[in-house]
Chain A
């Protein structure tokens, strides 16, 4: 988890030019860090590449729009990292 967070925080810092020390596991990517949807595409691309996964952004967005999930579930970084770990584990299990 901590390793995942470190990688994700570094990606966000480098992609969005946000000081690394302002990014915490409790940070909300949108509300706290001000990351917009276009910047998040770059972040998703970097995460997809770094972890060998495909973040299901469309599914998440649909769930939020349908009221079935909150943005916190996917965009607070500790939660995002937990999702990444799940996707990596699922990929490893299926490999």
Chain B
């Protein structure tokens, strides 16, 4: 998890295009300036970053389903729940499934667990549009390689 670059997903653990699901892991750092302010003496992973982690996890699934032809952009978040605290050093397991693929948009349901315990969940809507420029697509492809995106899952589908 590289909070400074807003890159929250560390690795893709499982991707199932048939079931339209993904599982990723994200390691919350033990130290970060964010925790100095949120909160002094009681460091917690901010809820907005948990939502962002679920959005990014959803994004990888949607990119996979569109075979790197389209980029999802966050449109709305519903039913986001912070069920219990996430703290520095926690390893997040994030499960996402696509609820609906519409024309130019998609809806996902995402869950964050720590050691099997549900900590947060949300229903998220994305606008899903063609990559606006080659640079962004290239950047996402490079990042996909870094986080273990299973390219064969896309090329063989």
Give the total of B residues in contact with A, Cβ under 8 Å.
Answer: 11
Contacts of A90 in B (CB 8 A): none
- Report the tally of A-B residue pairs with Cβ distances under 8 A: 35
In B101-157, the 8 Å CB interface with A consists of: 101-105, 107, 125, 127
Instruction: Name the distance in Å between B28's Cβ and chain A's nearest Cβ.
Output: 31
Contacts of A59 in B (CB 8 A): 103
Asked whether any CB of chain A lies closer than 8 Å to the CB of B84, the reply is no
Asked whether any CB of chain A lies closer than 8 Å to the CB of B31, the reply is no
Asked whether any CB of chain B lies closer than 8 Å to the CB of A44, the reply is yes
Q: How large is the interface on A (under 10, 10 to 19, 20 to 34, 35 or more residues)?
A: 10 to 19
Contacts of B102 in A (CB 8 A): 41, 44-45, 48, 54-55, 57
Asked whether any CB of chain A lies closer than 8 Å to the CB of B75, the reply is yes
Asked whether any CB of chain A lies closer than 8 Å to the CB of B83, the reply is no
A41 touches B125 (CB 8 A): yes
Instruction: Give chain A's interface residues, CB within 8 Å of chain B.
Output: 38, 41-42, 44-45, 48-49, 54-59, 61
Instruction: Give chain B's interface residues, CB within 8 Å of chain A.
Output: 75-76, 100-105, 107, 125, 127
